[in-house]
Homo-oligomer: A and B are copies of this chain.
Amino acid sequence: MKGGEEEKAADFANYFCSYASLYHQKQMLTDHRRMQAYHGAIMQNRGLFAGKRVLDVGTGSGILALWCAKAGAAKVFAVEYTDMAKHARKLIEANGASDIVEVIQSSVEALQLDGPVDIIISEWMGYFLLRESMLDSVVRARDRWLAPGGLMFPSHATMYWGLVSDEEDRLAKAAEYLQSTQEWHRFKREMRQYYDCDMNVLEGVYEEEQKGYYILSSFWAELQPDQCVGQGAMIKHFDMHTCTLEDVQGVEETPFRINVEHDCRVSGFAGWFTADFRGTEANPLPVPVLLSTAPDNGYTHWGQQVFYLEVPHWVPRGGAVEGTLALTRQKENIRLYDVGVKHRRHGNSQEPNLGPMQEATYTMP
């Protein structure tokens, strides 16, 4: 919540609004892979919580705070910006944890506590990890409130980038795009015919807008393993105990290379993440837990973000796709990202030609 009141107000309208609805909280609460990861990380490592002071950044319905209390925490500060805080307070009370859990309706940036905490827990992850940029708030809370040697839940987070082979979905988007530009031509004809207005000069603007919408935009998908090609490449890794506010601003141009084991048409890319609960080297969790949103891991509400190519790559067995990936915050809304991809195909030893390097910038809406 840095920046002026102005920025804050726009942020509320854009971002916080949905979290104020129980419907949206319920969608997260019914994501069982998400729930089991947090529940397991807390309940199977109760010993670490016993008698401790915990901060839950963005408590939403209050669920993580409640579990921390059940795991034996001495005190849990559960901070939530939206009116959901009022519901969280009721839920905590009804579940008999109001002695331990204090729900505080505030931004975590404006939080005042009587001293540091031993553990910070938060479910801050957005699509392709960084979307929503809530990680900023968690890093600020850590720098301000985590005691030296304290633990972060999750402790690590990693971004992955993979290849997608799915011409069916890619062509569906391409067809929608063509249809929307085709409609323009009817529109243009009618504007001239009925209303004496020549729209030609805006044709390029319209096509670009529609292309941004249908092509240069990522889509939520629940990919099946057979829609993926090769191994996802690790793009960026965050140690939640040490990453800085600067580290979490985005992803600087990062090289990737993904090998292809069967002849295939590469339709696009997919981004996903994992979050680890394993503590620090000095203080590892007795029972580490991994939350993965990879395509071979089944449904989560995060799914994967898919970025389709305008022209697919034909890659032979033994070939590869290589390039670079960068995530940059949008100027108008720092919670959203532009995803810049450079990429080219690599043949194999029989057909060793490299395709030309191609470049595209997608928005992740």
* Residue positions of A touching B, CB distance < 8 A: 4-10, 12-14, 21-23, 26, 29-30, 32, 35-36, 39, 61, 63, 66-67, 70, 87, 90-91, 93-95, 180, 184, 187, 190-191, 194-202, 205-206, 209-210, 213
Contacts and interface: CB of A to CB of B under 8 A. Distances in A.
Interface of A is mostly: helix
B63 A22 contact: no
A5 B7 CA distance: 9
State the oligomeric state as a number of copies: 2
A94 B198 contact: yes
B5 A91 contact: no
Contacts of A201: 90-91, 93-94
B30 A195 contact: no
A198 B66 CA distance: 11
Contacts of A8: 6
A70 B4 CA distance: 45
A202 B87 contact: yes
Closest 7 CB pairs of A and B: A94-B201, A9-B10, A13-B13, A6-B9, A5-B6, A10-B13, A9-B9
A195 B35 contact: yes
Nearest to A61: B202
19 contacts: A4-B5, A5-B5, A6-B6, A6-B8, A6-B9, A9-B9, A23-B180, A23-B206, A29-B191, A30-B187, A30-B190, A39-B194, A61-B202, A67-B195, A67-B196, A90-B202, A91-B197, A91-B199, A95-B197
